[in-house]
Amino acid sequence: ETQTQSSMPLPIMKYVDQYTDEAVKRGIAPKPPVPIQTSYEMFGQICHQDDAIIRPLESQGISQLHPEVYDKRSELKKMTVSILCSFLDLLDILVKAGVSTARDEKIEDLNLLFIHMHHLINEYRPHQARETLKVMMALQKKNLVDVGDTLCKNMEKASEILRQCSQELATISVLTSLDVDTPLLLGDPGISTSNSANDIEPMNIESVLGLNSSSVIGQPEPMMEVEQSYHDDMTNNNSVEDKDMLMCSVIDDMN
């Protein structure tokens, strides 16, 4: 049977479906690939495990034009000027002798200069990666801080809303209690007070004074006697006060 082999990897779900909980428990899930110990090919180039991140030009079979210790910025400026001059020389060669060997030599010079410039730019990649990570982390931090500030503001708003609601509920409870008590005090016609009126016994004035209606009505003598006795008591009290004043004046004279 003919099998078709694709140069592209399988879809990701083809791998995910093989790592179910049951497959992992039974030990039938595929094992991770073994790390490569030898050289490997990537983008058409042979790579090794101990290769540096930025491989030197000599390891790639390319002669190095700049010195061992150099300033990247100044070397890039020099290479830019060299590329411009080489391009002008190439144009002059094409005008004068387009089929001469000098044309191929100048093209090789331009190719070497571009390779060196590309190499110098690649040496900035680690620094670029670090700065990119710094920017990403700063952005993530800013987003987290903004989310935290927004959460704190929402919590403060919620607390303020809850406080206002509690105050309103307290006010409503007080008003409700006042509304329940006020009809009884003001005689609200909406509330029946017949039972309360029936429960209150009328005050009997005659019983308080020790009189009855039969003895008062039609018989004025007892009332006159009460009034006369009250007048006599007041007279006796006045006479006692006069005697007290007299005794006080006698004692003052003796002193």
Local confidence pLDDT in tens for the 255 residues of the chain: 555 666 677 788 888 888 899 998 998 888 888 888 888 887 887 887 777 777 777 777 788 887 778 888 888 899 999 999 999 999 999 988 878 888 889 999 999 999 999 988 988 888 899 999 999 999 999 999 999 999 999 999 999 999 999 988 888 888 887 766 555 444 444 444 444 444 444 445 444 444 454 444 444 444 445 455 555 655 555 565 666 666 666 666 665
Task: Say which DSSP state 70 is in.
Answer: -
How is residue 169 written in tokens? 């509920």
What is the pLDDT at residue 206?
Answer: 47
What is the pLDDT at residue 211?
Answer: 47
How is residue 67 written in tokens? 């010195």
Q: Which residues contact 97 (CB under 8 A, 6 or more apart)?
A: 103
Query: What's this model's pTM, rounded to 2 decimal places?
Result: 0.43
Q: Which residues contact 58 (CB under 8 A, 6 or more apart)?
A: 64
Considering the domain boundaries, does residue 205 fall inside one?
Answer: no
Considering the domain boundaries, does residue 34 fall inside one?
Answer: yes
Considering the domain boundaries, does residue 33 fall inside one?
Answer: yes
What is the pLDDT at residue 124?
Answer: 87
Task: Say which DSSP state 45 is in.
Answer: E
Considering the domain boundaries, does residue 227 fall inside one?
Answer: no
How is residue 130 written in tokens? 């670090």
Three-class secondary structure of residue 47 per DSSP = strand
Amino acid at 219: Q
What is the pLDDT at residue 5?
Answer: 64
Determine the Cα–Cα distance for residues 233 and 226; give it in Å rounded to an integer.
11
Give residue 40's domain range.
Answer: 12-123
Considering the domain boundaries, does residue 57 fall inside one?
Answer: yes
Number of domains in the chain: 1
